[in-house]
A and B are shown apart, each in its own frame.
Chain A
């Protein structure tokens, strides 16, 4: 599916895996930002990623709990950055360029880069 096709937003895009241009997982479509006037056409403006986006979809007590545990981080990815939508949402650029996967990079610095044996098959 191309990003300018008609979308059933909830069924087609929300909660789908996001992969970057290198096919690396870099989050889930946690919510969508829309634009448009009442009575007019709605257009997707951006993908929202992070606990700051998905916690708002939960009951108030659960949203409070998520905020305490996972924080409030939210990353906005412009819809123009979407390359295509299949069983995943593929982005045109790398996760790092779009501000995704920061937690991975921070934690990776704390862990050894390799296991003792070569993990390549």
Chain B
């Protein structure tokens, strides 16, 4: 297996884990609740590995992407509901990422955020138009690895490792008041949603088909899902721990993206700040491209059109027009002046509502011997899959009440 084959997983993970929602919720969770939410990241990571691996396996064996088979399994009406909900969630997420990148560039230069939003959208447009799929995944995936500075920074500030280890144990901190427990629950649900964003599996399975995965690639799929998602998870845990160690004790709630980048500046000074900002810039850019393409994949697959970035834009015209339209709509949302972090909150809440609809057909398909033959889900995948499905249903039911009770985690 070539190391380059892992880049699909790395892009999905870095872009998926460390997108703007992740940065916001994980940092704020660390600042407010110390290390006590690490277990939610750990549990959600296993969940996204389970569903990611399944989506790659379905792509490799059934040779059909999730949205195409989803319509066949759910039927037209429920398929359309799922499509509409995921388009909404992904477009808001895409807007949040574009807004986040523009905000970071504004912090660097002082120039207007709106102008940067237009410029970065044009750069993303040019990237997808000009670059073949492999180049897109390699360039944004590997440049996003500047985020590793968060891991190095965590080691350098020498946090209380025993407290971090204790954070892996499922818990609700006993000292919390009822109000704080509700906010804690909101952050737990938001982290599950931010880590298990369904666009990751749409993008991942479509990527597997773009790369013409087959039966021989099943081990590549397994390794990319595990290594890529685990790497993203370690970054997320590092960001949470840095916030817990540096921001929490000083009463700082990292509600600005720039504050999150200050973490690595503590041990490494300006170089740390620069590397963290670059990492965030490319991770958010990768996530913007992933969410945009995920929407174009979903629509094209739902209606059975030609799709893919392995072919020139003119050979899959409706797919091409779809991703252009998603970028335009996302840019318009950003230009209305809505804060990227507010968009990230909307994205996370809308995403958790879509999760049960998105993952049910995937579970059914991956367990269906008619399509998957001897590669259908075995007992372990079945137990993990349905267990996690129960978890996301509970999270989806709890999401809206928690959002309104806490005012989006602010009270």
Contacts and interface: CB of A to CB of B under 8 A. Distances in A.
Interface stretch (A10-18, A34-42, A76-84): A10-18
B313 A112 contact: yes
Contact of B132 (A107, A108, A110, A119): A119
A26 B306 CA distance: 7
A115 B304 contact: no
A116 B135 CA distance: 13
Contacts of B306: 24-26, 101, 104
Interface in A15-59: 15-18, 24-28, 30, 54, 57-58
B112 interface: no
Helix, strand, loop or mixed for chain A's interface? loop
Contact of A18 (B135, B302, B304, B311): B304
A69 interface: no
Most central of B302, B314, B318, B320 by chain A CB within 10 Å: B314
Interface residues of A, number: 34
Nearest to B73: A15
Nearest to B368: A87
B125 to A, nearest CB: 11
Nearest to B79: A15
Contacts of A121: 132-134, 310
B129 interface: yes
Interface string B295-334: 0000011111111011111111110110000000000000
Most central of B300, B304, B310, B313 by chain A CB within 10 Å: B304
B303 A107 contact: no
B132 A111 contact: no
A58 B131 CA distance: 39
Contacts of A116: 129-130
Contacts of A28: 68, 71, 302-304
Contacts of A101: 306
A103 interface: yes
Interface in A67-121: 87-88, 101, 103-104, 107-108, 110-121
B77 interface: yes
Most central of A24, A30, A103, A121 by chain B CB within 10 Å: A121
A58 B304 contact: no
Contacts of B64: 17, 87-88
Contacts of B300: 25
Given A25-B306, A104-B318, A120 B129 contact: no
A119 B136 CA distance: 11
B318 A25 contact: no
A14 B314 CA distance: 29
Nearest to B63: A87
B299 to A, nearest CB: 12
B38 interface: no
B75 interface: yes
Contact of A108 (B63, B134, B315): B315
Nearest to B210: A121
A34 to B, nearest CB: 18
Contacts of A118: 132
A110 B314 CA distance: 8
B271 interface: no
A15 B72 contact: yes
A16 B62 CA distance: 12
A117 B72 CA distance: 36
A107 B318 CA distance: 7
B43 interface: no
Contacts of B129: 115-116
B314 A17 contact: no
B69 interface: yes
Given A18-B304, A58-B77, A119-B132, A113 B72 contact: no
Most central of A87, A88, A111 by chain B CB within 10 Å: A87
Given A15-B76, A16-B72, A120-B132, A111 B317 contact: yes
Nearest to B76: A57
Contacts of B318: 103-104, 107
A24 B316 CA distance: 10
A64 to B, nearest CB: 15
B73 to A, nearest CB: 8
Given A28-B302, A62-B80, 18 more contacts: A15-B76, A17-B301, A27-B305, A30-B76, A87-B64, A104-B317, A104-B318, A107-B321, A111-B317, A113-B315, A114-B312, A115-B132, A115-B313, A116-B129, A118-B132, A119-B312, A120-B132, A121-B133
Interface of B: 62-64, 68-69, 71-72, 75-77, 79-80, 129-135, 300-307, 309-318, 320-321, 371
8 contacts: A27-B305, A28-B303, A58-B80, A107-B317, A108-B317, A111-B320, A112-B314, A117-B130
